[in-house]
Chain A
Amino acid sequence: MGLKDVVKKAAFVDILRGMSVTGTYFVVDKVTVEYPKEKLQTYPRFRGAQALLTDPATGDTKCVACMLCATICPSQCISIVGEQTPDGRSHPATFDLDLTRCIFCGFCEEVCPVAAIVMTRQYELATYDKNDCLLDKEKLIANQVNAHKELYALTEGAAPAAVRPASADGNAGSHGR
């Protein structure tokens, strides 16, 4: 170890260098985002809680109870009971999504053929009451205010929602494989 190294060691050069770095951080702007006063905006593709979009033409949800989302869901958190509306469309009588089982993978959104179920940007899902996590059809439809424009744009010019899956019985069963 040469003289230069000895002097550097005695003068604590490496330690002072580290201290200069932390000293700089002391005075520059801090990166903290003071949640809940300030909130970060998530990106368009962010996968938050789900929502069911309504078709402006019919006023009802676009969902046709095809069971694709319930089937693909890796944690089986979606239960759908389908029925026929008076005007011959297929739609879900009940649509239950259990957020406590959901792993937010986005597969339900990806496979939906009518772009009815979408993942919104809502991530503040903590609650004191477990029932708030068991989303039924009304809550899911109400949640579409949290969906964002990119998803609406996705569905413009799409095929009409009245596409029925080729199932033997008229009514599709509940969730299942």
Chain B
Amino acid sequence: MSARTLQLPRLVAGRDFADDLVDSLRLEPGAEVVVDAGELLSGTPSFAAELVNRVLVAGQAGSLLLLDAPADFADYVSAAAADLGVAGKLVIRRAVARNAG
């Protein structure tokens, strides 16, 4: 099973940017994708939704592990995964003592 890691920058917005980032992963079906959001300061719901869509729906990845995301961004990802019917493939590990935003 292949694994891919995506490091999010400090600020992310827009579906196009999510598309660009996921394109760079060269995903294969069943891949385990780690999204490292440790540097993220702020991200938009549309970016989060497109990230989930491209990785877990269109990309057919086996799982998406979201690491160290701000609370609100983690909520956006979680809501999108539920909406897209792939919540079972999403794992969120929240940062300790990290503020939202």
Q: A and B: real partners?
A: no
Residue ranges of A at the interface with B (Cβ–Cβ < 8 Å): none
Residue ranges of B at the interface with A (Cβ–Cβ < 8 Å): none
